[in-house]
Structure 1
Amino acid sequence: MDHTDPVLPSVNSSYLPPLYDQQSSTEDEEDDDISPSATLLPKASSAPLAVRYSPEDSYNLVYFTFFLMGIGSLLPWNFFITAKQYWLYKLSNSTDQNESSSVGDYFESYLSIASAVPSVLCLVLNYFLVNRLSPKVRILSSLVVMLLVFGVTTVLVEVDVSEYTTEFFTGTLVSVAVVSGASNIFCGSVFGISGYFPMRISQALISGQAMGGTLTALASIVSLAVAKDVTTNALFYFLTADFFILLCIISFLLLPKYAYSRHYMLAATCVSPGTLGEEQSPAGGIPPLQPIIKKAWVLGLCVFYVFFISISVFPSVSSGIQSVNTDGGSPWATTYFVPLTSFLLYNVADFSGRLVTAWVQTPGPTSRVLPVLVLCRSVLVPLLMFCNYQPRDHLHTVLFPHDVYPVVFNCLLGLSNGYLGTLPMIYGPKVVPRELAEATGVVMSFFLTLGLAVGSAFSVLIVHSI
């Protein structure tokens, strides 16, 4: 082994923010503690940064590994919220029909709250563990917890809980809380280490999250079409989730074997104590928060508000919008309308929006247009509220009675969520000093999850107000 210092990682040169160097140079003159070369944002150069000192990602193995882990990071949540018919079936067997009806009407809101609160707490914990436990330990332990909980959920599909509906409901919420906490530690840790890689890797991770929702919606529709029995449907459904979580464990264990990932993680050891191969970080300090917030607070607020608006109406409001042709009794109106319009279309649009960021990365990280576009999404909340949501106890007026309206609104919600949610997420770790890239990834994930938590609470108010 020679003692040549490893080369610092380059970044994807496909994005070069307009006039960013002129803007950042002024900021960096004011910040004596951060040099212009400290961040991971691409700089103007006569040669593309992507071709300097970096090995090729053979067969795109690293890209697809992060894409798969993106799928796994949100797969548990997606499977819990999409299996609506299964939960209603389990909860409808209660001897107290009034109680089961109340639980069924607001079940998505209960799930959102049970998911969001522990998610925020676990992401705070994850930030403190950045320099105490290696990403490998955090990622593998969270995946194992997710697999165990989903294994128990799969077994309970075949168990009769009609005499214990309240206990089953409570246990379900506890399972959602545990899985959400574990998946957020997993997601924050994976997004943190992706900050050391070129932007294409962060984009792969975020696109994979949207694909997870798409696969979940497809699995739900296929199981509805193939398995007529609700329990058989749910068994197939949750076994699919078990398989993907196991696949994530295997793919992550293979990640350090690729030359492309070894190159960037080796370079990261020069500036950060946490690496893929370390079992424990020698430096146990907490990453400084002030320089991260100073550089990335606007991007963090953009992420927060994007997901706050999305979770306010999806799935609690969007899944309650029924076809106006329900009385006709057609399978489209009675069986497939909600899975297709609320879940599949939203997730396909979300995936498309995230995928576009691989080629189009505008507005840039310092643009004032980005926060304006994020705020404009607020209009989607009343638009969905005044579709044919049922039951309606307070807002009796339906301004958009045709089935095409929720289709268009859900597509706009998903597309804008994917594009405007991805841009600040991939910008965040690039605008801070290199040694803070992983911690910034965790902070950006915290803003995302905080948006989901506040949006979940707000969704309850929206549903009750309708």
Structure 2
Amino acid sequence: MNRIRKLVTPSASYEPLLDNNEANAGDVDDRSIAEDGESRLESRFSLLEYSIFFLLGIAMLWAWNMFLAAAPYFHHRFDSSEWAVKHYQPSILSVSTVTNLASATTLAKLQKNASYSKRITLSLMINIVVFSLLAFSTVLSKGVSVGVYFAFVLVMVFGASLATGVNQNGVFSYVSGFGRGEYTQAIMAGQGVAGVLPCIVQIIAVLAVPEQKDGVRQESSKSAFAYFATSTAVSALALASFFYLERRQSRAVSKVLDEADDETVSDNADRKTIGLWTLFKKLRWMALALFLCFAVTMVFPVFTAEIESVRDPSDRPRLLQQATFIPLAFLLWNTGDLIGRVSVLIPQIPLVRYPKVLFSLAISRLVFIPLYMLCNVRGRGAAVNSDAFYLFFVQLLFGITNGYIASSCMVGAAQWVAVEERHAAGGFMSLMLVAGLTVGSLLSFLVANA
């Protein structure tokens, strides 16, 4: 635990907006009241709290990654309509990110007297309902027309994306109140795991179904039911864990309030609203780096759904057939993303101290777009005739750069604002993240039609 705390917690020299007592908060075991009136626990690192935030990070992006990993299943459901097959992936991305952006923008402005714990609870409950409906749809809607099921999927995407936007705002704002960078890193690492596990579930689900004699395998509705039901279980587990964390925090806060001066607490009861432009001026390089990072990243789902193995279709092993090759490619990208998020723990490369460098790295990721075009897009042939080049150089490296830049920006943002601005800064950075996803998803239509 001490090692994680020492690796992740920034040094006092990089906290110009914090006083000495705040800079050394990780070395004391007292409880205090935040300047904005909200109870804030300045305690020693807790592995239990780290684990709960890690689980909340998994739940935050599990829905998003499950929709991406389920691409082969949706492809099978829409294969009777050429238009649906071509546009379901960009449609899912666009509905998801536009909804996410709208909710994140609205909630980022609604700071006064906001209950971030209620936002987290609401978002997880929405996810439970959405993925329960998706799970049962794989069994009960087999005879539904393509158009009706296409609309149903987009409605479910809307619900899941609304939940994700609410969850991102709630969790990143909530964790900022702890004043601990390692808890934010736990959320980012959990998001990385949320990308890896659905892909593994998808690959196992596909390989578990016997291949048909004619060499064409059909996606199993039972397998789809299993991984959508898994999403429901993940959200339910995260909700139960958060309830426990809330009770734990409430007991500690009650103790603080009992010992605090009632008049002081009353005078500071209302949370100060921090303007988004004010936050942008303080966080502009990190905010722009985060925005550009995810805007560029959004080309990868479209390319991943379109790129095939360079092996001859009649000579491909099952793992390289399209039904498994797509989730395999997602798995490599998300594994890289997880590696990048965890690498923030390495103190030798603390780029959170250099926001302009992070911004430059975010721009440089544009080079991956032509690299994707060198691969076997839609079976048209590859300039670099190698699956290893695509999987391990393009996908894995693209994921690593995304994870490192994103995690560095989110973890480092709290160090550039005052204590009373941390909650607002967490919500603002999640807004910039979603804005990047939205712009990138809209531009993905150009890639899909290229």
> What TM-score results when the alignment is normalised by the length of structure 2?
0.85
CA RMSD of aligned residues (A): 2.8
- TM-superposed CA distance for 1:49, in Å, is 4.6
Spell out the pairing of 1:258-407 with structure 2 (5 A cutoff): 258=248, 262=252, 283=270, 286-312=273-299, 314-325=300-311, 326-334=313-321, 335-340=323-328, 342-360=329-347, 362-390=350-378, 398-407=382-391
- TM-superposed CA distance for 1:39, in Å, is 11
| 1:347 to 1:196, Cα distance in 2 relative to 1, 3 A | same
- TM-superposed CA distance for 1:134, in Å, is 0.6
Say which SS state the counterpart of residue 139 (structure 2) adopts: coil
CA distance in 2, matches of 1:17, 1:133: 31
CA distance in 2, matches of 1:256, 1:207: 21
Structure 2: where are the runs of 5+ without partners? 30-41, 211-218, 261-267
1:170 — aligned with what?
Answer: 151
Spell out the pairing of 1:182-331 with structure 2 (5 A cutoff): 182-197=163-178, 198-228=180-210, 230-258=220-248, 262=252, 283=270, 286-312=273-299, 314-325=300-311, 326-331=313-318
- TM-superposed CA distance for 1:19, in Å, is 6.2
Contact 1:321/1:406 (<8 A) preserved: no
- TM-superposed CA distance for 1:143, in Å, is 1.1
CA distance in 1, matches of 2:363, 2:187: 25
CA distance in 2, matches of 1:104, 1:354: 33
Select between 426-435 and 439-448 the one with higher mean Cα deviation. 426-435
| 1:190 to 1:101, Cα distance in 2 relative to 1, 3 A | same
1:52 — aligned with what?
Answer: 28
Spell out the pairing of 1:119-158 with structure 2 (5 A cutoff): 119-158=100-139
Code of the aligned partner of 1:456:
S
Contact 2:58/2:194 (<8 A) preserved: yes
**Match among 398, 401, 409 for residue 416 of structure 1:** 401
CA distance in 2, matches of 1:434, 1:319: 43
CA distance in 2, matches of 1:84, 1:103: 12
Contact 1:303/1:447 (<8 A) preserved: yes
CA distance in 2, matches of 1:322, 1:421: 28
> What TM-score results when the alignment is normalised by the length of structure 1?
0.82
Contact 1:72/1:248 (<8 A) preserved: yes
Say which SS state the counterpart of residue 287 (structure 1) adopts: coil
| 1:261 to 1:76, Cα distance in 2 relative to 1, 3 A | farther
CA distance in 1, matches of 2:66, 2:141: 21
Code of the aligned partner of 1:242:
T
1:436 — aligned with what?
Answer: 421
Superposed CA offset, 1:423-459 (max 9, x none): 0111112211111111111110011011101101111
| 1:57 to 1:37, Cα distance in 2 relative to 1, 3 A | closer
| 1:37 to 1:221, Cα distance in 2 relative to 1, 3 A | same
The 4+ residue runs of structure 1 with deviation greater than 6 A are: 263-267
Superposed CA offset, 1:113-169 (max 9, x none): 010101000001211333243112111111111111111111111123444221110
1:30 — aligned with what?
Answer: none
Code of the aligned partner of 1:233:
S
Contact 1:195/1:429 (<8 A) preserved: yes
CA distance in 2, matches of 1:440, 1:462: 33
CA distance in 1, matches of 2:68, 2:308: 17
Say which SS state the counterpart of residue 298 (structure 2) adopts: helix
Q: Percent identity?
A: 25
- TM-superposed CA distance for 1:106, in Å, is 2.8
- TM-superposed CA distance for 1:285, in Å, is 6.4
Superposed CA offset, 1:54-97 (max 9, x none): 54445x110010000000000111111111121122223xxxx4
CA distance in 1, matches of 2:275, 2:256: 22
Contact 2:336/2:403 (<8 A) preserved: yes
- TM-superposed CA distance for 1:332, in Å, is 2.5
Contact 1:75/1:212 (<8 A) preserved: yes
| 1:146 to 1:39, Cα distance in 2 relative to 1, 3 A | farther
Superposed CA offset, 1:25-45 (max 9, x none): xxxxxxxxxx653997x4xxx
| 1:391 to 1:324, Cα distance in 2 relative to 1, 3 A | closer
Contact 1:20/1:366 (<8 A) preserved: no
CA distance in 1, matches of 2:222, 2:184: 37
Say which SS state the counterpart of residue 65 (structure 2) adopts: helix
CA distance in 2, matches of 1:423, 1:447: 14
Say which SS state the counterpart of residue 274 (structure 2) adopts: coil
- TM-superposed CA distance for 1:170, in Å, is 1.1
Say which SS state the counterpart of residue 368 (structure 1) adopts: helix
CA distance in 2, matches of 1:160, 1:117: 27
Select between 282-291 and 169-178 the one with higher mean Cα deviation. 282-291
- Give the total of aligned pairs: 413
1:108 pairs with 2:86: no
Structure 1: where are the runs of 5+ without partners? 1-10, 25-34, 43-47, 271-280
CA distance in 2, matches of 1:322, 1:39: 56
CA distance in 2, matches of 1:307, 1:324: 28
